[in-house]
């Protein structure tokens, strides 16, 4: 009787325990899935749906002008850098490749400062507090702009982070680099910003 009674009580409990463990694993999976970072360029809750732009930035075409706030809330326009070469760099704090890429851009900006080069680091869909904390933590000194509605991101047709748009002194897009630039690539592409490129010199690359 003891053996039969013992089996009749313990076996259901083991099954119940297995069921509870499985249920907890499923709940954990869905909890992690719900809190995952939104896939780029995924929507944010505060973003108001907007019409897609009629045209996007493309090679050998004028770079679309835009105005975005910097981390101090001051508006910065691309057109204010007319006559200067500009790198417009799209990034996010969750992008694993963006910190080393931004550190490389800082060094390049300092190297070519006398030639007027400017770098505008456009953050995508993140709030100012998070971006500020990230910038301070990694000692980043680039001009950071906030594209909290992703309107400029869509205007430039960005599909991945990081993405670089190299714009020459005349405001023309001369190179597009998708993904973290391989060593030496940025230096090579910078020549198209400082000198008149030969026909077919503009390039789009996916790293």
Question: The whole model's pTM is what?
Answer: 0.71
Same domain, 32 and 81: no
At 57 the pLDDT is 78
At 24 the pLDDT is 66
**Other Cβ atoms within 10 Å of 147 Cβ, number:** 22
Same domain, 117 and 201: yes
Q: Flag whether 41 is in a domain.
A: no
At 169 the pLDDT is 93
Q: Flag whether 56 is in a domain.
A: no
Q: Flag whether 49 is in a domain.
A: no
> Cα–Cα distance between 69 and 75 in angstroms, integer?
4
Same domain, 97 and 194: yes
The total number of structural domains that make up the chain: 2
Range of the domain at 175: 67-206
> Cα–Cα distance between 162 and 186 in angstroms, integer?
13
Same domain, 94 and 181: yes
> Cα–Cα distance between 24 and 185 in angstroms, integer?
48
At 141 the pLDDT is 93
Same domain, 73 and 32: no
At 196 the pLDDT is 54
CB 147 within 8 A of CB 124: yes
Q: Is 88 helix (H, G, I), strand (E, B) or coil?
A: strand
Q: Flag whether 59 is in a domain.
A: no
At 188 the pLDDT is 87
pLDDT in tens, the chain (207 residues): 444 444 444 556 666 666 766 666 666 555 544 444 444 444 332 332 233 445 567 888 999 999 999 999 999 999 999 999 999 999 999 999 999 999 999 999 999 999 999 999 999 999 999 999 999 999 999 999 999 999 999 999 999 999 999 999 999 999 999 999 988 889 888 887 876 554 455 556 555
Q: Flag whether 44 is in a domain.
A: no
Same domain, 29 and 114: no
Q: What is the CATH number of the domain that holds 76?
A: 3.40.30.10
At 194 the pLDDT is 78
Q: Flag whether 107 is in a domain.
A: yes
What does the DSSP 8-state code read for residue 62?
B
Q: Flag whether 190 is in a domain.
A: yes
Q: Flag whether 131 is in a domain.
A: yes
- Name the H helices within 35-117: 98-111
């Amino acid at each position: 009787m003891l053996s039969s009674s013992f089996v009749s009580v313990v076996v259901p409990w083991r099954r119940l325990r297995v069921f509870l463990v499985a249920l907890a694993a499923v709940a954990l999976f869905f909890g992690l899935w719900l809190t995952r970072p939104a896939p780029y360029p995924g929507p944010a809750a505060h973003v108001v749906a907007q019409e897609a732009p009629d045209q996007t930035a493309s090679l050998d075409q004028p770079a679309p002008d835009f105005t975005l706030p910097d981390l101090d809330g001051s508006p910065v326009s691309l057109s204010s850098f007319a006559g200067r070469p500009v790198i417009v760099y799209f990034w996010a704090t969750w992008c694993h490749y963006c910190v080393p890429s931004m550190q490389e851009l800082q060094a390049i900006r300092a190297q070519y400062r006398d030639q007027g080069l400017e770098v505008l680091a456009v953050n995508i869909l993140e709030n100012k507090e998070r971006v500020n904390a990230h910038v301070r933590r990694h000692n980043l000194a680039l001009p950071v702009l906030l594209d909290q509605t992703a309107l400029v991101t869509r205007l430039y047709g960005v599909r991945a982070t990081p993405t670089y748009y190299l714009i020459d002194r005349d405001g023309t897009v001369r190179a597009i680099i998708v993904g973290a630039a391989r060593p030496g690539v940025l230096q090579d592409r910078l020549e198209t910003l400082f000198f008149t490129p030969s026909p077919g010199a503009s390039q789009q690359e996916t790293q």
